[in-house]
Amino acid sequence: MTGPTDFAALLQRLLDVEVEFILVGGLAANVHGSARATFDVDVVYRRTGDNLDRLVRALAPVQPYLRGAPPGLPFVLDAGTLRRGLNFTLTTAIGDIDLLGEVVGGGDYDALLPQSASIEMFGRSCQCVSLPTLIRLKRAAGRPKDLEAIAELEALREEREHD
């Protein structure tokens, strides 16, 4: 991938084949109103057999490959690969995407689902983690680089409460 991530195209691919996923990370923050830039799509995906098949169907046509890995590795994104792993940082022909089986502080898809909301985008419904849970996830990750992002998300929550 050489160009910028096409967020809409990546999300639409997942929505087209009804992948069960929850938007998290920087893109979820932007959906809630964050003004910080992000350059990839982070999703927590459901690890059922059917959903792994849908995920492969969505992404296989855009040549997913391990982000940052040297070229030429025998990496194939199929249901077996997904089953044997958990979290994948991928690059594709239309941008970068992180497929997360679990997230620190949030657990897996089923644990996170009640902490998410359906958001209308591109004429479709997309599950997006709630703002309080996004703050909780960022805090749980405990990364110094997230401190400014957490501060912004908390300010965002205050602004929404004042509305």
Partner 1 sequence: MAPLPVSLEPDPVIEAYKKDVDRTLLRENLKLSPEARLRKLQDFVAFTAVLRDAGRRSRT
The binding site for partner 1 (CB under 8 A) comprises 3-8, 27, 30-35, 37-39, 102, 104-108, 111-112, 115, 119-122, 128, 132, 135-136, 139-140, 147-148, 150-152, 154-156, 159-160, 163
Q: Toward partner 1, which CB reaches closer, 27 or 56?
A: 27
Tell me the chain's radius of gyration from C-alpha atoms: 16
Residue 87 neighbours by CB distance under 10 Å: 13
How far apart are CB 54 and partner 1 at their closest, in Å? 22
Locus of tokens 């920087």: 26
How far apart are CB 154 and partner 1 at their closest, in Å? 6
DSSP structural state of residue 78: S
How far apart are CB 60 and partner 1 at their closest, in Å? 24
Residue 133 neighbours by CB distance under 10 Å: 21
Q: Toward partner 1, which CB reaches closer, 99 or 128?
A: 128
Tell me the three state secondary structure of residue 70.
Answer: coil
